[in-house]
A and B are shown apart, each in its own frame.
Chain A
Amino acid sequence: MTVVVLPTLVESTYCKSLWISAKSFSACVCVCVRAGDRLCSTEDCMPGTGVYLRHGYIYSSLAGYVLRKNEGEELPVISVVRETEAQLLPDVGAIVTCKVRFGELLMSTTDVKEDVRATEKDRYISVSLLSGAQMVPISWCEMQCPRTHAKEFRKVARVQPEYLQA
C-alpha cells in the first residue's frame, strides 16, 4: 500500500509497524547516545523525535544515534533514532509504504494512484483517489469516485453516524 504522508499520519498513535522508504533526507549521523544524555541547548537546535526538553536543554530519550537535519534558515532539528536506515522520519509529502496495524479496512494492492488518509476517528480510514474526491460506497464491496465515476473494489466499513463528520 502506497501512502502519501500527511501530518496526521505521523502523529497517529496506533500505527506501530511502519516500513519507511523515504525519498529524500539530509542528515548526518555520528554519535551513539543513551537515554538521559544531554545533547545541546534549545538555542542551538530544535527538538525532533526521540528527545525531550528539560530546563532549556535537549536530552535524549532513546538509546541510539544522533541525527541533525538542516532545515534551512531555521535551527537544525536534532533527533535520536534507533537504527539509521529504517527510522528516518519522512517529511510531509514523501511517498512511503505503510501497514496499518489497527485499521479495520484495507488490504489494498500497490496502486500508486491511491491516496489513503488515516484519521484518528476511531481508526476509520477513508479512501480517495488522487483526483481528491472522497469515494462513495455503492455496495458493501464497491466504491465509486463521484467525479471520475471510476469504480473500485473496496471493503466498505459502516461508520456509526456520530463519528461521521458532515
Chain B
Amino acid sequence: MAGLELLSDQGYRLDGRKATELRKVHARMGLFAQVDGSAYIEQGNTKALAVVYGSHEDRAARLHDRAVINCQYSMATFSTAERKRRPHGDRKSTEMSLHLKQTFEAAVLTNLYPRSQIDIYVKILQSDGGNYSACVNAATLAVIDAGIPMRDYVCACTAGFVDETPLADLCHAEESGGGTSLALALLPRGGHIDHLETLMEAAMTACKGVSKVLDEVVRQHLQEVSALTGE
C-alpha cells in the first residue's frame, strides 16, 4: 500500500509520533476492593489490567526460605482484531507467564515471605503492540498497590529498528512489520545487574570456535569426496 511506511522521510511514524516518542500512558491503581492490589494501564491503544493477591500461605510449601510468585498472562477474547479462540493456556501465554514470573522474582523481596505465595494475574484487554511491556508495567503498579516490597519499579518497553533508526514503543503494525524488535524490562534505578555484555562476548567467542570446527569438517569432507570421484 503506497504511503504506509513505518517511518516517513520527515521522521514521523504511522501514528504521527517521532522515532523516540512513547505512546500516551494512562494508569490507575486500586481499582478493586476485594483484591490486595490492582492496576490498569493504557499505553496508546494497548490496555492491560493486573491483579495481585498478596502473600498468602502456599499449601505446597514449595520454597522454605522465600515466596513463590505465580503469574498468569492471558488475553481477552476481544483484545485482537479477530476473536481470540484460546485466551490462556496456549504456548504464547505460557511463555509470557514464565517471563513475568522470572521478572518479578528478581524484583520482589521474596525472602521476606518464606513458604508463601504471591499471585499476579494480568489480562490484556486490547492488544496493539507492546503487550508484554504493558503487562509488566501494570503488574508493577499492582504489586506496589498491594504493598509488597520490591527493590525498584520494573519498567518495560519495546524498541525496534527501521532503516537504521531505532524506534521506541512499537505498536502492532510496527512489530509485525517484519523488522527487528526487542522487549526490555529493567529496574531503572541502577539496581539492575546486567550480565548481557559478558554473556554476549562469551557466546561470540564460542561461536567462532564452532566455526573453525565446522570449517575443518567441510574441508575434510570435500577431500574425501574428491578422492573418491578421482581428480
Total A-B Cβ pairs within 8 A: 47
- CB interface residues, B 205-222, toward A, < 8 Å: none
Determine if A34 is an interface residue (Cβ-Cβ < 8 Å): yes
Which of these, B55, B150, B189, contacts A13 with CB under 8 Å? B55
Task: Determine chain A's interface SS by DSSP, over half rule.
Answer: loop
Contact, CB under 8 Å: A62 / B147? yes
Contact with A along B140-184 (1 / 0, CB 8 A): 000010010111110000000000000000000000000000000
**Quick check: A61 and B114 within 8 Å, CB to CB?**
no
Given contacts A16-B56, A102-B57, contact A34 B109 (CB under 8 A): no
Q: Are B56 and A52 in contact (CB under 8 A)?
A: no
Any A CB within 8 A of the CB of B43: no
Nearest to A82 among chain B residues (CB) is B147
Query: Cβ of B187 < 8 Å from any Cβ of A?
Result: yes
A52 and B109 contact, CB distance less than 8 A: yes
User: How distant is A40 from chain B, measured CB to nearest CB, in Å?
Assistant: 16
Complexed CA–CA distance, A39 and B191 (Å): 14
- Which secondary structure dominates chain B's binding surface? loop
Q: Is the CB of B115 within 8 A of A59?
A: no
Judged by a CB distance under 8 angstroms, whether A54 is at the interface is yes
Q: How many residues of B contact A (CB 8 A)?
A: 20
Is B54 at the interface (CB under 8 A from chain A)? yes
Q: With A13-B114, A13-B116 given, is the CB distance from A35 to B150 under 8 Å? A: yes
Interface centre among A14, A52, A61 (most CB of B within 10 A): A61
* Given A13-B113, A52-B109: A62 and B149 interface contact (C-beta under 8 Å): yes
- Report chain B residues within 8 Å CB of A36: 150-153, 187-189, 191
Within 8 A of B (CB), among A85-129: 102
Chain A interface size, as a band, is 10 to 19
Give the contacting residue for A34; candidates B113, B114, B153; CB below 8 A. B153
Alpha-carbon separation in the docked complex, A54 to B149 (Å): 14
Say if the beta carbon of A50 comes within 8 Å of chain B. Answer: yes
User: In the complex, A35→B148 CA distance in Å?
Assistant: 10
Contact of B109 among A37, A61, A63 (CB under 8 A): A61
- A16-B56, A52-B109 in contact; A61/B150 too (CB < 8 A)? yes
- B48-67 near A? 1/0 per residue, CB < 8 Å: 00000011110000000000
Provide the A58-70 mask, 1 if CB < 8 A to any CB of B, else 0: 0101110000000
Whose C-beta in chain B lies nearest to the C-beta of A83? B147
Chain B, residue nearest A36 (CB): B152
Q: How far is the CB of B73 from chain A (nearest CB, A)?
A: 22
Task: Encode B111-128 as 1/0 by CB contact (under 8 A) with A.
Answer: 001111000000000000
A→B interface (CB under 8 Å): 13-14, 16, 34-37, 50, 52, 54, 59, 61-63, 82, 102
What are 5 A-B residue pairs whose CB atoms fall within 8 Å in the complex? A14-B116, A35-B152, A36-B187, A36-B188, A82-B147
Query: Which residues from chain B sit less than 8 Å from chain A, CB to CB?
Result: 54-57, 109, 113-116, 144, 147, 149-153, 187-189, 191
Given contacts A35-B152, A62-B150, 14 further A-B contacts (CB under 8 A): A13-B114, A13-B115, A16-B55, A34-B144, A35-B149, A35-B150, A36-B150, A36-B189, A50-B149, A52-B109, A61-B149, A61-B150, A62-B144, A62-B149
The 4 nearest A-B residue pairs measured at CB: A36-B152, A61-B149, A36-B189, A35-B150
